[in-house]
Amino acid sequence: MTALDTETAFAAELTSPPRPGRTGKRRRPRWGMWIALVILALFAFLPLYWLAVTSVTPNDQAFSYPPRLFPTEITFDHYLKIFRTPAIFRYLENSVIVSVITTLLSVAVSMYMGYAFSKFRFRGRKSLMYFVLSSQMFPQALLLVTLYVVFAQFNLLNTYLALILSFTTFTLPLCVWMLKGFFDALPDDLIEAAKIDGAGPWRTFHSVILPLAAPGLVASGLFAFVRGWNDFMFALTLAGPEKQTLPPGLVNMFITESSTAWPALMAASLVVSVPVSVAFIALQRFLVGGVTAGAVKG
């Protein structure tokens, strides 16, 4: 075959239409992937949709059979009832106080522990690290009786301090390991450069390391905040009616021995979930960056 024939055959191959079999394979719709996505979307959003629908359904239609995906009548009386109930605002105030202080305390302690585990080498370091991690292996309900007895001896029951200490106890291990992974991703050259510039360990950590660790701090802080905001068991047991947070407060308010006000409870659940949702949306960029950076060692 001559060079001219080769060029002619190559040009014909470029200008020829694509093969039917290959084109059909590329354009074949991925029905399996779309079906899986639809199932996952229904699994994730159908409970939220049902929560919203029930919150605007009148009481006499909340238990209609068969259940209706689209309500025939809509009412916002349940939401108005929430803002007319002073006890809900007291529970909201308690949740904000406990969650914010738990977040600040957890981040303040875990950032020093995570940095020490990551950048310092000392005797018993690995044993202490695994000891901190092993605390997550025990069910939290097993420690409830012990914490109740300890707080009762120190007269801390029905106080904010009991809730803050118990929440911080369970948020610290994960926050420490999350921040340790993030500090591992930061190169040691930053510390050496700070030493050359004359910065001591304290200034190096606060002026050089912490600004770079902002995504990790936000990620661990969000975890601690959600832990304090959503807890039910410890808030119900360790706090009295005046110090209870939103989860047990709403249950005691809308669920009684004789009946359950499901529409009002659903409306209250949607309202109290707004602060957490807003926090996640506003700090989503830092949350994703902190989790991914803390999961990979550089």
Residue 102: give its domain's CATH number: 1.10.3720.10
Tell me, yes or no, whether 136 lies in a domain.
yes
pLDDT band at 3 (very low <50, low <70, confident <90, very high): very low
Q: Which domain holds residue 54?
A: 31-75
Mean pLDDT of the chain: 81
CA distance 202 to 182: 19
The answer on 192 and 55 residing in a single domain is no
Does the predicted model carry a pTM greater than 0.85? no
pLDDT at 55 over 90: no
pLDDT at 37 over 90: no
pLDDT digits (tens, 9 = 90+) for 161-186: 999 999 998 898 888 988 888 888 88
Residue 60 and residue 174 in one domain: no
Burial of 19 (0-12, 13-18, 19+ CB in 10 A): exposed
Asked if residue 7 is part of any domain, the answer here is no
148: left (phi over 0), alpha (psi -120 to 50) or beta: alpha
Q: Are 287 and 219 in contact (CB under 8 A)?
A: yes
- Assess whether 197 and 54 both reside in one domain: no
Same domain membership, residue 202 and residue 89: yes
pLDDT score recorded for residue 9: 52
Based on the domain organization, do 50 and 110 belong to the same domain? no
Please write the tens of the pLDDT for every residue from 276-285.
778 777 776 6
Boundary (domain end) residue, out of 75, 107, 138:
75
Is residue 135 one of the residues assigned to a domain?
A: yes
Last residue of a domain, one of 48, 75, 102: 75
Tell me, yes or no, whether 87 and 161 share the same domain.
yes
Domain tally, the chain: 2
For residue 24, the one-letter residue type is G
pLDDT in tens, 253-278: 888 777 778 888 888 888 888 877 78
Residues 125 and 216 in one domain: yes
CA distances for 135 relative to 80, 112, 125, 131, 180, angstroms: 43, 19, 16, 7, 16
**Of 116 and 4, more confident:** 116
CA dihedral 25, 28, 33, 39 (to 10 degrees): -160
* Model pLDDT, residue 4: 46
Residue at 19 is within a domain: no
